[in-house]
Amino acid sequence: MNEKALVVTNLRKEYAPTWYRKYRGDKPFVAVRDISFSIDKSEILGFLGANGAGKTTTMQMLLDLLTPTAGDITFAPHSRIAFASGYMRLPSNLSVRECLMVHGMLYGMSQKEISKKIEYISGIFRLNDLLKRNATRLSAGQTTTVILARTFLIEPDVILLDEPTAALDPENAQRIRSFILEYSHQHAVSMLFTSHNMAEVTELCDRILVLRNGEIVANNTPELLAATVSQVKVQLLVTTNIDRLIEHLTKNSFDYTQEEHNFIEIKIEEHCVAQLLCACSSAGVEYSQISIDKPTLEDYFVALTQ
């Protein structure tokens, strides 16, 4: 049996109605509905859901910022737990080095140990030129980078990451993702990861939980969740008789989009692709390029929310 870093059992959060709504007979609002899940040691678990699905409420209960209405939260004994979010801010009266020093001290690290770790982590996150800068003089992306560096500085056992790359440019976001993957494997760190970037979730997460209306509605790998979407995208660069193709698509109520240079993208059930191509041949439609894109995690997420 895999060693568990976190076990959540029947977690529930209700908010009582205001006196007026209670007078009208309104019931409590249930933000999280008796959810249960676990994270294995060294596993990166994705936590997805539309706005209002219950992700933030669950995170706050895991961090002991909200008291659950019911249920149990159990971290592995002696776990060092860290949290980072792309929307956090740093203390305005401290330099970057001081922010890192204070954070390490809060976790019981000695100043000598912290100084050694700052030297290491600053190289990884490219913070050497920012260590003396006041936190108020950082850009949004630099602030996020410092917060992430601060998180890994303490060598945590479990990390809760809430959209950690939201403020980063593509290059730095990719660098951070590579570091997260490498660090997780090398140090057996467990992570709970939320993001609206489905490509990022697919790259990082071993498994995904999907929340809807406070309930877990899916629990699987990114690849298997995407595979539940039956539609594929057929992309054609049409060279001859594009009008006949459009007529056929319109007549048969296909979902398609046409872009410039005779490029057409058609959403179609996978088992109907051969039939579509045969219809193109029969109508004299010719094309110079064709690609068939399998469903992605983003396609799954869009289908779920719709």
The span from the CA of 152 to the CA of 117, in Å, is 9
The architecture of the domain spanning 4-226 is 3-Layer(aba) Sandwich (3.40)
Fold for domain 229-305?
Alpha-Beta Plaits (3.30.70)
pLDDT of 298: 87
Note the pLDDT tens digit of each residue in 221-255: 999 998 888 888 999 999 999 999 999 999 988 99
112 Cβ contact partners less than 8 Å away, ≥ 6 residues apart: none
Taking 50 as the pLDDT cut, the residues of the chain under it are none
Q: State both tokens at 179.
A: 């570091």
Domain ranges of the chain: 4-226, 229-305
Cβ atoms of residues 57 and 11 within 8 Å: no
- Give the pLDDT score at 139: 93
Strands 215-220 and 231-240: unpaired
Query: Sheet harboring 190-194: ordered strands across?
Result: 81-85, 158-162, 190-194, 44-49, 207-212, 215-220
Identify the pLDDT of residue 75: 96
Give residue for tokens 């440019």.
169
Q: Which amino acid, one-letter code, is at 228?
A: T
DSSP letter at 291 equals: E
The answer to whether 208 and 218 are in contact (CB under 8 A) is: yes
* pLDDT on residue 1: 60
Rounded Cα–Cα distance for residues 299 and 199 (Å): 11
